[in-house]
Structure 1
Amino acid sequence: MDGVDVPAGQAGKELLRFLTCGSVDDGKSTLIGRLLHDSKQIFQDQLSALARDSARYGTTGGHVDLALLVDGLEAEREQGITIDVAYRFFSTSKRSFIVADTPGHEQYTRNMATGASKADLAVLLIDARKGVLVQTRRHSLICSLLGLRHVVLAVNKIDLVSYDSDIFERIVSQYRAFASELGFSSIAAIPISARNGDNVMRRSDQTSWYRGPTLLDYLETVDVTQEMTGKPFRFPVQWVNRPGPDFRGYAGTVASGTIGVGDPITAAGSGQTSRVKELITYDGPQSSAQAGDAITLTLTSEIDISRGDLLVSPASDTEISDQFAAHIIWMSDQALMPGRSYLARIGTRTTPITVTGIKYRIDVNTREHLATHTLGLNDIGFCNLSTGTPVAFDPYEQNRKTGSFIMIDRLTNHTLGAGMIAFGLRRGTNIHWQATLIGKAERAAHKHQRPAIIWLTGLSGAGKSTIANMVERQLHAAGHHTMMLDGDNVRHGLNRDLGFTEPDRVENIRRAGEVAKLMVDAGLIVLCSFISPYRAEREAVRRLVADGEFVEVFVDTPIDECAKRDPKGLYAKAKAGEIKNFTGFDAPYEAPENPEIHLQTIGQQPEQLAQRLVRTLTELGIVG
């Protein structure tokens, strides 16, 4: 796991990365504490501190509470739950281990997915008194989607059900029936008591009916080799190293496969090829490198490579597309909105990404595919996505490194979700951009103007359409070529199928923005009058055109004044409950933070505001 150093003297041992998961209070932290304690990985001062903490926070009736070895956050100790992902190292004579203790509470599912993303194996705990729970199923499904193929079903607290073999067998049978279609290569069921140590590192006399290995025996011997070194060579370029004019190297970590000096290599995006000249590591030049090695490689000939590119073996190329299907684990309170522009980090490349459709949401209990328009916190869905630029990838089931990505909020930079690519969409490679002989610069020059989108946003009744109409009349009288897109008008035709839910509002602005962009390409000045309540969508339209071609105009009218005007009677209907999702009442409006033009309407006549807007357009060089 990232951020965990292997102690000196242990680096030569085979390393197993695993996580503990399951529902809250199933004993994950206690189990890890037992492994650390019984493998003699705890110093005397830590034991003394543990005794003091047990007296203050412990839940074991005066005995040492081993869970506190892992639950390091003050909030966790006071609540008795794990919130963050805690990583711990321990070692035996046969193997070294890095274990991730992940949260059990549903609201921290995103942390569990983080821990699972780099694990080789999952130890899934089940409380013998409770059996298989919803969170058991959710964590199992996430482990399956994230490519884990080996599961230890640790039926914990077996001592609290009097070591009853029938209860153990019933739980195992129930779980195997649920997990039969999740694609696990192995499910090893072990009855344990993490608190007492039964079948953790020593065989229990209380479970004479159990003939299998202890948990540690299994972890020491299980073969979880994913044959990453046997997979095709993949190398995401993290950094282009140019310390001087005579050296150009490409730094990163080998994601899969092996590479040697003299081997051919291809830049996946461009298809250009070369051969490896040198392989340089922290320890100096090497003749070869394999999956997991951090290297800088140089090439015998210069080809166009930059950060984010993927270097591959010519014998086994990747898929390249700007559209693909993927499973998404959504990790944000902010719902996923089809049509909204996010960022995706795929390998070392960051690109805009949009969900073009949600095929279904997965019910974690039944694995049933359910129709949905959005994904909420902890939902798992199967989606079609489109990226701003073509990306190179492998299906996730073939390569976890090159088939995964995260989705990021463009405004806050927060991670929102994790994705696992299933396959590329063929239409993404069949559609090509058709070049035209006449461009927007020539079209605009013919009209003696600079094309632009003039985007008026504000509450219903703020005066957007009134001001836009006056501006267009002035521009038309001056000989300029314009087009006006009004929010109500486009809903009579282009967007007549859309309602006023958040997903529909997002799609409404996406379509309007694409139309406005086409009109800018035609050399026009496009006046757009839309409430457009969300900053993300207004920014998405801005990014469709070149710098300086989007002018955001905030028509700033307080909601009380808008309600007084109420030109369409909408505020009265909203107050009466006849209209749902009305902006300013039961739907939000996110005011512009830095608009190019801020029109405060109180005390101003529409004619004055329109003249001010035209003057600003002249100052910006859009009109002469």
Structure 2
Amino acid sequence: MLDNNQLLRFTTAGSVDDGKSTLIGRLLYDSKSIFEDQLAAIENTSKKKGHDGVDLALFTDGLRDEREQGITIDVAYRYFTTPKRKFIIADTPGHIQYTRNMVTGASTANVATILIDARHGVIEQTKRHAFIASLLQIPHIIVCVNKMDLVEYSEEVFNNIVAQFEEISSKMLVTDVRFIPMSALLGDNVVNRSKKMGWYQGAPMLHTLETMHISSDVNKVDARFPVQTVLRPQSDRHRDYRGYVGRISSGVLRVGDEVTVLPSGFTSVIKGINLFDQELSEAFAPMSVSITLEDDIDISRGDMIVRSNNKPAASQDIEVMLCWLNDKPARPRAKYTIKHTSNDQKAMIKEVIYKVDINTLGRVNDNSELEMNSISKVKIRTTKPLMIDSYRENRTTGSIILVDDATNETVAAGMVV
């Protein structure tokens, strides 16, 4: 049975004008998830723009520039609930220069919905978005073949696109891919089954999202506790209290567990676990707690508490798959701040091992500068060791971002390999 309170996060991706915002608008509109005042405001805006009916894309295109240009620029998050499940939607831009926003929107998604214009089939942006979804280990992909009304609801056109996408997905680490022919504008196979595509025997999109089994992406085996701060209350009652505060990234920690503090390597035993004024016998990801130890050890922000029999790798040389997000390119040996859990260090891009050709998904031995939207495998050198797991094993301790010290801009996101 489904948990009615279970939350499913999904992202939309696709090229410009493939209908992502319209699809979400139709999903919200037909599932009656729009408040009356919101609907009235959108209807008024639609009339001012000269539309005969409701412009469904306006439900997500909230920025003034987006409405004026008729495109999505920023990642728009929308929330809605059905009797079966709760949802968070991340509507991401289709323009190639905003591919970086797709990385942001998809980073926490359980499902990626990739839209394809039935008239154009699989294009470069389709491959790019599918590859990013694969890199981010999103377990489910729903391929929405949109605008079927413009190809006369042709089964042959749909089958050709399915074959095109299956050819590229076979080269990726994707376990579950589903295909739905639809018309977001007219509502075919979005919330309600289409009467114009009797040849399609699958479920419409909303039913697929409501019934899809999703498992937690939290690693429940490897206990990782990055320390954010040290808690030293000044009150007389708690004067001797020394707690290490943070959010458990993965696994379970219990009172009495033998733990090791990294990178120092000192060992101790968990004396207590506190959640506000509660004393707990155990805590698990993603709880934010305070932990006390039997021994007085020098621990500060950026250190990590782990079980002594299950340690991550501690390394200054890290290989990552890097998505370059900034419009200014980076050259090898450029210096940045690397952020990993609660640990900030200085780092430099030591080497570009290879770049990924989005069209062929092959490797290109090109160690030149990294450009916006490029996806590359690189080697990064840090000033001090980072406690890392591979992204495949642990999303939290296997992910990093790079920040430009001069502008404080996030320039890249990476996944440890």
Q: Same fold (TM over 0.5)?
A: yes
Alignment deviations for residues 585-616 of structure 1 (CA, whole Å, 9 cap, x no partner): xxxxxxxxxxxxxxxxxxxxxxxxxxxxxxxx
Out of 400, 407, 417, which is 1:405 matched to?
400
Q: Does 1:341 align with 2:326?
A: no
Name the structure where helix makes up a greater proportion of residues.
Answer: 1
Aligned to 1:260, which of 254, 260, 283? Answer: 254
User: What is the match of residue 384 of structure 2?
Assistant: 389
Which residue in 1 is equivalent to 2:32? 40
Percentage identity across aligned positions?
46
Offset of residue 285 of structure 1: 3.1
Which structure has the highest strand share of the two?
2
Cα contact 1:328–1:383 (8 A) shared by 2: yes
Runs of at least 4 residues of structure 1 off by over 6 A? none
Secondary structure at the residue paired with 1:328?
A: strand
Matches within 5 A, 1:55-454: 55-57=47-49, 61-226=51-216, 228-244=218-234, 245-282=239-276, 284-372=278-366, 373-422=368-417
Structure number, greater radius of gyration: 1
Tell me the TM-score normalized by structure 2.
0.94
Q: Would the aligned equivalents of 2:4 and 2:83 in 1 still touch at CA under 8 Å?
A: no
Residue identity in the other structure for 1:357: E
**How far is 1:15 from its partner?**
0.8
Secondary structure at the aligned position of 2:233 is classed as: strand
**Whole-angstrom distance in 1 between the partners of 2:41 and 2:402:** 40
AA in 1 matched with 2:107 = S
Match of 1:82, SS state, is: coil
Cα contact 2:226–2:342 (8 A) shared by 1: yes
Contact 1:57–1:78 (Cα < 8 Å) also in 2: no
Aligned pair partner of 1:18 in 10, 13, 17: 10
- Greater CA deviation, 36-45 or 16-25? 36-45
Q: CA deviation at 1:198?
A: 1.4
CA positional deviation for 1:287: 2.9
Alpha-carbon displacement from aligned partner over 1:397-432 (angstroms, at most 9, x marks no partner): 11111011011111111111111111xxxxxxxxxx
Structure 1, gaps ≥5 residues long = 1-10, 423-624
Q: Label 1:155 to 1:411 Cα distance change in 2 as closer, same or farther (>3 A).
A: same
- The residue identity in structure 1 corresponding to 2:212 is V
* Partner SS for 1:295: strand
Count of residues paired in the alignment: 410
Looking at both structures, which has the greater relative contact order when contacts are Cα pairs under 8 Å and sequence separation is at least 6?
2
Aligned CA-pair RMSD: 1.7
Shift in CA distance, 243/20, structure 1 to aligned 2, threshold 3 Å = same
1:507-546 Cα offsets, whole Å, 9 max, x none, are xxxxxxxxxxxxxxxxxxxxxxxxxxxxxxxxxxxxxxxx
1:406-555, aligned counterparts within 5 Å?
A: 406-422=401-417
Report if aligned partners of 1:237, 1:311 keep a CA contact under 8 Å in 2. yes
Contact 2:218–2:395 (Cα < 8 Å) also in 1: no
1:315 Cα offset (Å)? 2.6
Deviation at 1:283, TM superposition (A): 7.4
Deviations along 1:297-352, one digit per CA (max 9) or x if unpaired, are: 22232222211122222232101110021111111121111112111101111111
Deviation at 1:258, TM superposition (A): 1.8
Aligned residue among 30, 46, 52 for 1:54 = 46
In the alignment, the residues of structure 2 paired with residue 12 and residue 168 of structure 1 have an alpha-carbon distance, to the nearest angstrom, of: 33
Displacement, 1:133? 1.3
Residue segments in structure 2 that go unaligned for 5+ positions in a row: none
C-alpha displacement at 1:273, in angstroms? Answer: 2.2
Q: What is the rounded CA distance, in whole Å, between the counterparts of 1:93 and 1:264 in structure 2?
A: 44
Once residues 20 and 37 of structure 2 are traced to their aligned partners in structure 1, the CA distance between those partners, rounded to angstroms, is 23
Instruction: Name the aligned partner's letter for residue 397 of structure 2.
Output: T
Alpha-carbon offset, residue 140 of structure 1? 1.1
8 Å CA contact 1:268, 1:318 repeated in 2: no
Kindly state the Cα deviation for residue 110 of structure 1 after the two structures are TM-superposed: 1.3
